[in-house]
Amino acid sequence: MTVKITHTAEIQKFFEEAAGFGNDNGSPRLKRIMLRILQDTAKLIEDLEITQDEFWFAVDYINRLGARGEAGLLVAGLGLEHFLDLLQDAKDEQLGRTGGTPRTIEGPLYVAGAPIAEGEARMDDGSEEDVATVMFLEGRVLDLDGKPIAGATVDLWHANTKGNYSYFDKSQSEYNLRRRIITDAEGRYRARSIVPSGYGCDPQGPTQECLDLLGRHGQRPAHIHFFISAPGYRHLTTQINLAGDRYLWDDFAYATRDGLVGDIRFIEDAEAAAKRGVKGRFAELEFNFQLQKASSAEDEQRSRRPRALQVVGA
Ligand code: MBD
Ligand code: FE
C-alpha cells in the first residue's frame, strides 16, 4: 500500500513554514533552497517508501560522516564534484569559452599556504628516500596562443608513496609534497619530488561503507593536483593522472579526463641519473598548462570553498 501526502496543500504549507516562509528574517536564498530540499526529500521518502529504520540510519550516517571529516570525500565518490565540472563545462560551451587545459575536481585534500618558490622547488622532505622513486616534473604555463605566462602561480600537491597527503596524515612533515612555484620568464615551472601512489578511501570510514553498499571500490589512480593562476587569466583547478596506473580510467572520483593523462617516463640510465644528481631509477614527467583569459575579476579566483590552512610551526 502506497500512501502519498506530500502533494497536499496542507503538507506544502507545512514545509513552507519549516523553511521560514512565514517570517521576514533570515536568507531568502536559503529559504528557497531549503523548501526544495524538504519537498524533494519528502517525495523521495514517499516514492521509494523509505522505512523509519532507513531514515534514522541515514541521520546517523550523516553524523558519522561529519565526525570523520569525510563529507568532501563522499561528494567526490558519488560523482557530484565531477558533475559540477560537467555543468561548468556546459555553461562555458554555451558562452564560447572553450580551449585550454581541461578542469577537473579539486578533491578534499588541498591545504592553503604552501611554501612559495621561484621557478623551481624540491617538494619532498626526503623521508621516503629509501622507498620512493624520484620524479622530475616540469612544464610551462601558456596562454591559448601558446605564449608563455611568466609569474604564474603553480600551486601543486600530491600524495606520498602510501597514497597519503601531508596535514591529513600527521606522520608527514608540514607541507610535505605541497608547493607554490612561480613560473619564470619562459613560463616554466620545475619540481623535484617523488612519484606519488594512488589514494584509497579509509576502509573503515563512512565513505567506503557507502561505496561497499554500492558495490564500488574507493581507489584513485596516482595523480598530482594543480591550481594554476595568473593575473588576467582564468583560475584553473586540474590534475595530472599518471598513465600506466590500473585505476587511470577506473577512478572512484571520476577525475581522469582526456588531456589530463601524464606520460610519466621511468628511466634506468646511470649517466642520465648522474646528470640529474640522483642514483638509480628515476622518473620524468612533462606537462604544460594552457589558461583562458579572465573575463571578470572573479574568474581569476578559485572557488570560495572552505579549505584547511596549516600554520607552519604551530
Ligand atoms: C584524493 O586524493 C582526491 O584527489 C580525491 C578527489 C578524493 C580523495 C582523495
Ligand atoms: Fe588527490
Element (H, E) at 52: helix 52-67
Contact assessment for residue 182 and residue 135, using Cβ atoms and an 8 Å cutoff: no
Q: How many residues does the chain have?
A: 314
Residues with CB under 6 A from ligand 1: 73, 76, 105, 107-109, 199, 220, 253, 255
C-beta of residue 251 within 8 angstroms of C-beta of residue 220: yes
Between the CA of 92 and the centroid of ligand 2 the distance, in Å, is 25
Q: By alpha-carbon position, which residue is closest to atom 7 of ligand 1?
A: 107
Q: Rounded to the nearest whole angstrom, what is the distance from the C-alpha of residue 255 to the centroid of ligand 1? A: 9
CB atoms within 5 A of ion ligand 2 belong to 107
Which contiguous run of DSSP H or E holds residue 187? none
Helix axis angle for 52-67 and 206-213, nearest 10°, is 140
d(CA 7, ligand 2 centre) in Å: 43
- The CA 131 to ligand 2 mean position distance, Å, reads 20
Residue type, 152: A
* Residue whose CA lies nearest to ligand 1 atom number 4: 107
What does the pLDDT read at residue 314? 52
Substitution site in 109, 165, 223, 226 for ligand 1 pocket (most atoms within 8 Å of beta carbon): 109
Judge whether 79 and 277 are in contact, CB under 8 Å: no
CA nearest neighbour of 258 among 233, 244, 240, 284: 240
pLDDT tens per residue across span 132-141 = 999 999 999 9
| Cα 124 to Cα 92: distance, rounded to the nearest angstrom | 37
Residue bearing cell 519549516: 18
For residue 300, the 8-state DSSP code is: G
* Per-residue pLDDT at 313: 63
Query: Atom 5 in ligand 1: which residue has the minimum CA distance?
Result: 107
Residues of the chain short of pLDDT 70, as ranges, are: 313-314
Q: Whose CA is nearest to atom 6 of ligand 1?
A: 107
Tell me, in angstroms, the distance from the centre of ligand 1 to residue 148's CA. Answer: 30
Q: Which atom of ligand 1 is nearest to the CA of 72?
A: 7
Phi, psi dihedral angles at 151 (to 5 degrees): 75, 15
The whole-angstrom separation of Cα 196 and Cα 264 is 11
How far does residue 18's CA lie from ligand 2's centre (Å)?
A: 39
Beta carbons of 255 and 102 less than 8 angstroms apart: no
End-to-end CA distance of the chain: 60
Per-residue model confidence (pLDDT) at position 164: 98
Closest to 156 in 3D by CA, of 128, 120, 132, 184? 120
Residue 113 Cα to ligand 1 midpoint, Å, equals 19
If one counts every other C-beta atom within 10 angstroms of the C-beta of residue 159, the result is 25
> Can you point out the beta strands (E) in 59-216?
111-112, 116-118, 120-122, 134-143, 153-158, 178-182, 188-194
Give rounded-to-5 percent helix, strand, coil for the chain.
30, 25, 50
Q: Which atom of ligand 1 is nearest to the CA of 106?
A: 6
